[in-house]
Amino acid sequence: GQGQGGAAGDARGADGGREGMEKYEAVRDIGSGNFGVARLMRNRETRELVAVKCIERGHRVRSFVF
């Protein structure tokens, strides 16, 4: 993780990298591309809006991730 200012879900645990995501609620999809969907999310506690890119993990993605 990157501390308190890090990206949501960047610490990958046993849940596949989704730890901490329960504190966000989806507002709407804001875009899509070859690797995933960008979603507007709201922090349930602070009401802050953030953009989150949700990437499907598969053989194509793994070949580019180090």
For the chain, first and last CA: distance in Å?
16
> Does residue 23 have a known ligand-binding role?
no
- All structural domains of the chain with their residue ranges: 23-61
Nearest CA-CA partner of 26 in 57, 7, 8, 49:
49
What is the structure's pLDDT at 35? 83
Q: Which 3 state secondary structure label does DSSP give 51?
A: strand
What is the structure's pLDDT at 39? 95
Q: pLDDT tier at 6 (50, 70, 90 boundaries)?
A: very low
What is the structure's pLDDT at 21? 84
Indicate the pTM of the whole model: 0.56
Residues 35, 40: Cα–Cα separation, whole Å: 17
For residue range 22-60, what is the model confidence (pLDDT) as tens digits? 999 999 999 998 889 999 999 999 999 999 998 877 666
